[in-house]
Structure 1
Amino acid sequence: MADGIGQIVDRLAGQEFVGDVCRLLDEHLERGDTAYLAAFGAALHARYGSGEGDAEHRYLFDRVLWDIVTTPGRANIAHALRLGLATRLRSGQPVRRAAAVLAAEHAVADLAVLFTPGRPYEDAPDELRACLIHELVLRGAPVAEQPEVVDWAARSPFWAGHPLAWLPWSLAPLEGRPELPRYHRGGAAYGVRYGLPEGDRLPSGGDPAAAPPARRSAAGPGLIAAVERWAGRFNGRVESAVHLADRPVGPAALHPLLASLPLDCLAGSAAPGHLVVVTGSPGEAWSRLFGAASTGGGRDDTWWYGAYGRLAAWRSLAALSGAPEGAPAAEVARRAEECAWYGFEAATDWFNGYAMDLGILTLTPDRRRLALLAATDYDGG
C-alpha cells in the first residue's frame, strides 16, 4: 500500500486537477478503509507539507483529515491525531474545533482513551482534553462517569488551573439542550438564535416621570464575555452598562427608564415604538449568550466553539445577574433565577438590523440594579 500511495503522491507535483485522486479516496472511505486515508495524508504531508503554498495539496490534506475525524471509531481518533488534528485543522481555533468535532462524531467511551497515559494518545494536547470535557457535557454525555476522564482531571496540574475547570460537569437546568453545530463530510451546519425571546411585550412609551433617577455603576469584567470578539469586527459593536435606580423599577417604568439613560445603542429612538422590550427568562438569555459566544459573530474560523462558548455565556450570565466574581455556577444559576429578564431591540442606527443583533437586560430581585448587554455584527463590511 505504501509504495502505491507514494507513487500517487509523487505524481501530484504540479498536477492541477485532483478529481481522480478524490474518487480513489472516496472509494476507500466507502469501504471503511480509513487506514488508507491516514497513510495517504501522512505521505502527502511528508512530501508537500500541509499544502500551505498549493491549493490542491491543501485541499486534499484537509479533505483526508476531515473524512477521518468525522468517521466514528477509536482507530480514526488515533489516525486524526497523528495527522495533526489539533494543529493543522483549518481554523483560527484548531484545538477547540477538533474537540467539538470529536465530541459530535465519536462515542464518549472511545474518546475516554484520550485521557489515558500511553500511545497513541499521550501526545494529544492537554488543551484538547480540557475542551473535550465540556464539548461532551454540552451534548449530554456522562463525562463524570468516565474514570479515565475523572482520573486525568484529578492528577492534571494543567486542569487544576484551567478556566474551564470552573464549569459544572453536567448541564444546569437553565442550559436546556444547547443548539450545537452538526458536522458532516462537507463541513458544518448550524443555526444561531438572535433577536427577542418569545415573551410578553411591555407597553411602549410611558410617563417619563415614572422613571426613577439612576446612577451608573461599575460593570463586572465578565459582562461582555459572550460578545467581546464581536467588537471591531466589520460593523460589530458592543455596549454594556449597569445602573442603580433610586427605587424599584416596575415593568411600567422600564421603557421611560431606558429612554433616560445615556446609552449609545438607544440613541435616536425618538418614537416610543422604536424601542421594544419583552419578558424573558434566564434560560432564554443563556441560550442566546451561548450562541453569540460559540458560533456567532463571524465565520467558523473565528468561532470560540462549545467549551469556551459555554464559559463565556456563564460569565455574562453571572455579570448580568449581579453574582460576585468567581462565584460557583450553582450560585450564579440561583441568582439568575431570582432576576427579572428581558430582551430588547431598537430601531436605531447603532444596530445593524441584520441577523446578529442581541439585546438583554436584567433587574436584580430588589428591582433596583439594571444590567444591560447589547451587541450587533454584520459581515457586509
Structure 2
Amino acid sequence: MRWPTVEHASDLADDDLAKIVWEKTKRPVARGEAGHLRELGSVLTDRHATAVERARSYERSLAHLMRALALSPGRDNVAQLLELLNEQRTSTTSPGLRLPAIASFLAEGQRVADLAELVFDGRALDRPTELRACLFHELVLRGVDIEDFLPLRFWPLGRAGYHPLSWLPVDRRAFEVDADFPSRSTHGGAGGMDTGIPGEGRMDPPVPRTTVRSALRDTATSERYEQVTAAVTAGGWGACGAWVFDLDAPAAPEDIPALLPTLPLGCLDGLGSTDRFEIALRPLDAVWRLLFATASMGGMYSDGAHGAYGRFAAWQSLAGLTGAPRSADADEVAQRALHSTWFHFEADAEWFHNEIYDYGLACLSPDRRRLAILAATDTD
C-alpha cells in the first residue's frame, strides 16, 4: 500500500484512514517512513480536535436541555427528564450533565410530591442510585420532612450503604437550617456568598501584637489535612491550608486571638505586628453555612459540588476540625462541633488574596487542648 499524500489522507473517510494507519504500523517503522507517519498523525490530530469540539457542543446543548426540564415545574418535565437520563449511553464531562447538578436543579424547580413518586417510588427501580442519593439530601437541606412522603421515608431504609452520602444524617440538623442556595433559571442564575468577618463577637487583639513565635508545632496528618480542607477542595477554590496544634495547657477562648498570629501558619506568614488581623467568635450554624456555601456553590471558576456533596464535604470539614475519629458517625461529629468553640479570622497576610473570597476558621476543642485551623482563599 502506497503512502497517501496529506491532501489525499485529509479526504479519506475515518474508517479508511484508520485502515491505512493500522496497515502502516503492523511492523517497526522503516527508514524514511517517519515523516509519512507524522503527516498521518497531523491529519488525525486535526480530526480529533474537531471531534472533541463537536462533542463539547453536543454536551453543552444537552446540558441546557436537561437544565430546562429540571427547572421548569411540571410532572411531565420530570418524567421526560428521567427517561432521557435512562437513555444516556456515554459518560460526559460537562458539569451540567452530572447527576449531582441535575438533582440540585430538580430540588429547586419541582414539586416534592412529584419527585417522591417519580424518583423514589419503589417501582421506579431503573432510577440511578446516584440521582436518588443526591436528590434526597437536596430535599432534606431545603426543609422537606421525609415523614410527609412515603417514598422518601423508606428511601434511607433501603439505600445503598456503600454510597458515601449514606454517612450523612437523614434529617436536617438545627445548625443546617439556614443553608444558602443559588437561584437559577434555564438561562442563568444568581448566587454567591459573603466570607467577610462579622461585626458581632469581635475579639481583635490589641496592636502592636507580640513578635515572639509560639513553639507549638503542626500535628496534622495528611489524612486529617484532607478532611479539614474537604469543603474548600469540593468547591474548587484557589488555595487552602489546614493545621492542628496540641496545646501545652488548656486555653480559654479569650486566649486564642493573641495565640493565633504567633503559630506557624502558612496563611499568616509575613504578618507584621500591626498588620490587620481580625477575629470573631462564631456560632456553629454560621461556620457550617460558610463551609457549605464554599463546597456547594464553589469559587470563581467552579460550579461547586451542589447541595448533596456540598453537605457531605461541609460535614467532613467539621469532622476534621473537631478531631473526630475516622469511625465517627454524624451524631458524634455533631456533638463535637456543638461543644467546640469556633472563630472566624481574616488577615492582611500575603497568602490571602483579600480580593473576593477569603476566610480562616479555628476550632477550639471542648477540653480546650486542641486547636485546628482552616484557611481558604480564591480570586479571579
TM range (shorter): 0.7 to 0.9
User: How far is 1:154 from its partner?
Assistant: 2.7
Distance 1:59 1:321, change over 3 A: closer
**How many Å apart are 1:196 and its aligned residue?**
1.7
User: Cα 1:372–1:92, aligned 2, differ >3 Å: closer, same or farther?
Assistant: farther
Query: Do the aligned residues in 2 keep the contact of 1:99 with 1:132 (CA within 8 Å)?
Result: yes
For 1:223 and 1:59, how far apart are their aligned partners in 2? 34
Deviation at residue 58 of structure 1 after TM alignment: 6.6
Aligned to 1:355: 356
Residues 180-217 of structure 1, C-alpha deviations (whole Å, 9 max, x = no match): 11222322221212132443222234774998753432
Tell me whether 1:338 sits opposite 2:343 in the alignment.
no
Residue of structure 2 equivalent to 1:372: 373
Do structure 1's residue 125 and structure 2's residue 125 form an aligned pair?
no
Which residues of structure 1 form unaligned runs of 5+? 1-50
Query: C-alpha deviations, 1:35-62, integer Å up to 9, x for none?
Result: xxxxxxxxxxxxxxxx962898777655
Counterpart secondary structure, 2:193:
coil
| One-letter amino acid of the structure 2 residue matched with residue 99 of structure 1 | A
User: What is the rounded CA distance, in whole Å, between the counterparts of 2:214 and 2:273 in structure 1?
Assistant: 20
Could you tell me which amino acid in structure 1 is paired with residue 101 of structure 2?
A: R
Which SS does the other structure have where 2:270 is aligned?
coil
Q: Residues 262 and 58 (structure 1 numbering): CA distance in 2 closer, same or farther, change over 3 Å?
A: closer
Q: Secondary structure of 1:216's match?
A: coil
1:1-381 pair list within 5 angstroms:
53=54, 61-84=62-85, 90-91=94-95, 94-113=98-117, 114-118=119-123, 121-156=124-159, 159-202=160-203, 203-205=205-207, 208=210, 213-219=215-221, 220=224, 221-229=226-234, 236-299=238-301, 302-379=303-380
Aligned mates of 1:107, 1:89 — CA distance in 2:
28
**Aligned-partner Cα distance in 1 for 2:344–2:196:** 8
Q: Which residue of 2 aligns with 1:5?
A: none
Aligned with 1:349: secondary structure? coil
Q: CA deviation at 1:336?
A: 1.4
Count residues in correspondence.
322
Distance in 2, Cα, partners of 1:153 & 1:359: 35
**For the Cα contact (< 8 Å) 2:235–2:304, is it kept in 1?**
no
Higher alpha-carbon deviation: 181-190 or 86-95: 86-95
Q: Secondary structure at the match of 2:285?
A: helix
- The alignment partner of 1:53 has SS state of helix
CA distance in 2 between counterparts of 1:95 and 1:238 reads 27
Q: 1:63 to 1:283 in 2, by over 3 A?
A: closer
CA shift, 1:329, in A, is: 2.1
Query: CA separation in 2, counterparts of 1:260 and 1:58?
Result: 50
Q: Which amino acid aligns with 2:287?
A: A
Residue pair 1:211, 1:257 contacting (<8 A) in 2 also: no
**Is the contact between residue 244 and residue 368 of structure 1 (CA under 8 Å) also seen in structure 2?**
yes
Letter in 2 for 1:245: L
| CA 368–272 in structure 1, closer or farther in 2 if over 3 Å, else same | farther
Instruction: Say if 2:196 and 2:358, in contact at 8 Å, map to a contact too.
Output: yes
* Cα distance, 1:142 vs structure 2: 1.6
Question: Which amino acid in structure 1 is aligned with residue 185 of structure 2?
Answer: H
CA distance in 2 between partners of 1:150 and 1:253 (Å): 46
Deviation at 1:296, TM superposition (A): 2.2
Quote how far apart the aligned CAs of 1:101 are: 0.6
Counterpart Cα distance in 2 of 1:225 and 1:184: 28
Larger radius of gyration: 2
- Structure 1 CA distance for aligned equivalents of residues 254 and 212 of structure 2: 8
Give, in whole Å, the separation in 1 of the partners of 2:109 and 2:186. 11
1:189-246 CA-partner distances (Å, limit 9, x unpaired) = 2121213244322223477499875343235241111112467x6xx21110000111
Q: Distance in 2 between matches of 1:178 and 1:230?
A: 15
What CA distance in whole angstroms lies between the structure 1 residues aligned with 2:93 and 2:67? 8
Counterpart CA distance in 1 for 2:172 and 2:343 is: 23
Query: 1:22-81: CA deviations, max 9, x gaps?
Result: xxxxxxxxxxxxxxxxxxxxxxxxxxxxx9628987776555433322221221101112
- Taking a change above 3 Å as real, the CA distance of residues 360 and 297 of structure 1, as seen in their structure-2 partners, is same
Matched residue, 1:14: none
Taking the aligned partners of 1:281 and 1:136, their CA distance within structure 2 comes to 24
Q: Secondary structure at the match of 1:376?
A: strand
Q: Cα RMSD between the aligned structures?
A: 2.9
1:270-313 Cα shifts (integer Å, max 9, x gaps)? 1334221111111111010001111122445x420000000111
Q: 1:155 to 1:329 in 2, by over 3 A?
A: closer
Q: Percent identity?
A: 37
What TM-score, normalized by structure 1, do the two folds share?
Answer: 0.76
Distance in 1, matches of 2:374 and 2:161, equals 31
